[in-house]
């Protein structure tokens, strides 16, 4: 079946132009003015923008954490993403102690394959680097998994030491793979956490106060330096503050192949939100910082000190003792109430997979904080390039997958938990006014979202093999 989008304003990372767009056999077949319908289904996008589907490269669906698990799985998370204009995502397959990386991937395929609605891929999070696992890293690239992640935080749970991190950088770099890092000094953080708890300082704000910006800045510089010594590419995830940005910029200015992302929530929220009566809603790691850091992140995105905006979507119910309704059925899981007695027990994570492009359009593009082309670049094109999916994904070009969003800049909505599709009982942006919304969302030419109508089916998504030796942007 062919689909023709007429009279729209097409937006890529570099260009904005008037054209029609023809989709056929899952691909973008033609771009041009006055394209004939020739039996195609026709949509008129006059007065609207046509964008490539968003790509979220940092999510944690169905992730076990802190005595519970993330409330969105590969169906509910994909549905929410699609309603937010995202058509592709990369999740973290997290190694358990004693597992081979093959077993880790198999476990995540069991979680995802029958439920996935969007096209998706995996990074592998390494927590147990035995000699056999180290030798296994290059085999991932051969099957299209071209990125690994290591944690310098979460002591005694996920954290690795510098020896493990450096060995992984070397091995991944030689295979043309990208190493991702959660950069916080977990040793120092654990000392601060233990001290705060011992002193009875257990309110949610102490989650942030025991994970200071310096802990992130130090670990970021250490990771950048080790990547420089290894001659390997590095991608720093969820950067939250200006000092950490400075470390990435320092490395890039000296020719190191380092890149960084931030997440949409870090532009808008601060420690003050954790001081609210419902502050547990904002508990994630690294934590929310200050208004000055919010501004520094906008500057970093505009100045290309950071290259991607993702979400770190890892939602938990705020009160898991009260079931919510999801697609007509009650749903419940233990949630952030697990940390009522101490911030140290609050599951770390916030929702965001649907919110990202909605919020960035209304409170980024519309307010002059970033251009429409830059929005496409950091939410679609750069993610595809960095993670070995370009030009299959991330752009509007003949031969690319027909992942296309028709965006209505005049549409308005009061946003919040009732308006979103994330399977949780709260939304960080409750009551925010949005102007500019996705009207239709296509995945490989199939209409997934049509206004408020959902056409997606579990199992309709495709797992993506990604290319090694991807470019540094």
- pLDDT value for 1: 82
CB atoms within 10 A of CB 468: 18
Q: Are 101 and 95 in contact (CB under 8 A)?
A: yes
DSSP helix/strand/coil, 66: coil
Burial class (CB in 10 A: 0-12, 13-18, 19+), 377: buried
Q: How many helices (H) and strands (E) does the chain have?
A: 13, 21
With CA atoms as reference, report the closest residue to 193 among 218, 157, 162, 217: 157
The Cα–Cα gap between 283 and 136 comes to 35
Helices 213-230 and 162-174, axial angle in degrees (round to 10)? 40
Report the distance separating Cα 408 and Cα 103, nearest Å. 44
Q: What is the pLDDT of residue 302?
A: 97
pLDDT reported for residue 304: 97
d(CA 153, CA 180): 13
- For the chain, which residues make up each domain, given as ranges? 2-51+402-420+430-454, 54-386
Domain 2-51+402-420+430-454 has CATH 2.30.40.10: yes
Strands (DSSP E) contained in 256-336 are: 258-263, 308-310, 324-326, 329-331
Coil, strand or helix at 20: strand
Whole-number pLDDT of residue 66: 84
DSSP designation for 350: B
Which class is 54-386 in CATH? alpha beta
- Evaluate whether 361 touches 439 at the Cβ level (below 8 Å): no
pLDDT of 17? 98
Instruction: Tell me what pLDDT residue 314 has.
Output: 98
Q: Mind listing the pLDDT tens digit of every residue in the chain (473 residues)? A: 899 999 999 999 999 999 999 999 999 999 999 999 999 999 999 999 999 999 999 999 999 988 899 999 999 999 999 999 999 999 999 999 999 999 999 999 999 999 999 999 999 999 999 999 999 999 999 999 999 999 999 999 999 999 999 999 999 999 999 999 999 999 999 999 999 999 999 999 999 999 999 999 999 999 999 999 999 999 999 999 999 999 999 999 999 999 999 999 999 999 999 999 999 999 999 999 999 999 999 999 999 999 999 999 999 999 999 999 999 999 999 999 999 999 999 999 999 999 999 999 999 999 999 999 999 999 999 999 999 999 999 999 999 999 999 999 999 999 999 999 999 999 999 999 999 999 999 999 999 999 999 999 999 999 999 999 999 99
> What's the whole-model pTM score?
0.97
Q: Yes or no: say if 53 and 380 are a contact pair by the CB < 8 Å rule.
A: yes
DSSP codes, 256-272: --EEEEEEGGGGT-BHH
Rounded to the nearest angstrom, the gap between the alpha carbon of residue 61 and the centroid of all alpha carbons in its chain is: 11
Q: How far apart are CA 51 and CA 375, in angstroms?
A: 10
Rounded-to-integer distance, Cα 350 and Cα 311, Å: 9
Rounded-to-integer distance, Cα 379 and Cα 240, Å: 17
Answer yes or no: are the C-beta atoms of 51 and 85 closer than 8 Å.
yes
Q: What residues does 44 pair with on adjacent strands? A: 6
Q: How far apart are CA 288 and CA 240, in angstroms?
A: 7
* CA nearest neighbour of 81 among 116, 110, 123: 116
Residue 48 near residue 439, CB atoms below 8 Å: yes
How far, in Å, are 121, 168, 405 from residue 466 at the CA level? 8, 19, 23
* C-alpha span between 125 and 252 (Å, rounded): 25
Instruction: Determine how β-strand 147-151 pairs with β-strand 119-125.
Output: parallel
């Amino acid at each position: 079946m062919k689909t023709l989008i007429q009279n729209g304003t097409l937006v890529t990372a570099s260009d904005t132009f008037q054209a029609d767009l023809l989709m056929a056999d899952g691909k973008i077949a033609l771009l041009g003015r006055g394209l004939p319908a020739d039996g195609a289904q026709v949509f008129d996008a006059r007065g609207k923008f046509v964008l490539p589907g968003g790509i979220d490269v940092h999510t944690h669906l169905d992730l076990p954490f802190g005595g519970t698990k993330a409330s969105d799985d590969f169906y509910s998370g994909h549905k929410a993403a699609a309603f937010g204009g995202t058509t592709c995502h990369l999740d973290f397959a997290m190694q358990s102690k004693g597992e081979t990386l093959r077993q880790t991937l198999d476990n995540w395929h069991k979680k995802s394959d029958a439920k996935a609605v969007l096209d998706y891929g995996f990074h592998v999070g390494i927590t147990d680097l035995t000699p056999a696992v180290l030798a296994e890293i290059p085999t991932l690239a051969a099957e299209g998994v071209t990125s690994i992640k290591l944690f310098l935080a979460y002591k005694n749970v996920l954290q690795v030491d510098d020896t493990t991190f450096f060995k992984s950088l070397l091995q991944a770099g030689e295979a043309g793979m990208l190493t991702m890092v959660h950069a916080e000094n977990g040793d120092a953080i654990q000392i601060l956490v233990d001290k705060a708890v011992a002193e009875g300082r257990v309110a949610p704000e102490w989650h942030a106060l025991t994970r200071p910006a310096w802990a992130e800045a130090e670990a970021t510089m250490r990771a950048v330096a080790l990547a420089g010594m290894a001659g390997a590419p590095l991608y720093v995830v969820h950067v939250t503050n200006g000092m950490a940005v400075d470390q990435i910029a320092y490395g890039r200015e000296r020719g190191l192949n380092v890149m960084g992302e931030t997440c949409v929530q870090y532009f808008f929220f601060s420690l003050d939100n954790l001081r609210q009566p419902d502050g547990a809603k904002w508990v994630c790691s690294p934590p929310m910082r200050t208004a000055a850091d919010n501004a520094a992140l906008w500057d970093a995105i505009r100045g290309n000190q950071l290259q991607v905006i993702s979400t770190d979507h890892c939602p938990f119910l705020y009160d898991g003792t009260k079931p919510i309704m999801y697609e007509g059925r009650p749903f419940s899981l233990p949630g952030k109430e697990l940390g009522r007695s101490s911030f140290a027990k609050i599951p770390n994570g916030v929702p965001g997979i649907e919110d990202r492009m909605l919020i960035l359009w209304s409170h980024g593009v519309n307010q002059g904080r970033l251009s429409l082309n830059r929005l496409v670049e950091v939410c679609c094109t750069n993610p595809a390039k960095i993670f070995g999916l370009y030009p299959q994904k991330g752009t509007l070009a003949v031969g690319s997958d027909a992942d296309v969003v028709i965006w209505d800049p005049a549409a308005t909505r009061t946003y919040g938990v009732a308006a979103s599709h994330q399977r949780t009982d709260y939304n960080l942006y409750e009551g925010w006014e949005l102007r500019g919304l996705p009207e239709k969302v296509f995945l490989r030419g199939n209409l997934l979202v049509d206004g408020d109508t959902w056409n997606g089916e579990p199992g309709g998504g495709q797992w993506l093999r990604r290319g090694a030796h991807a470019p540094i942007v």
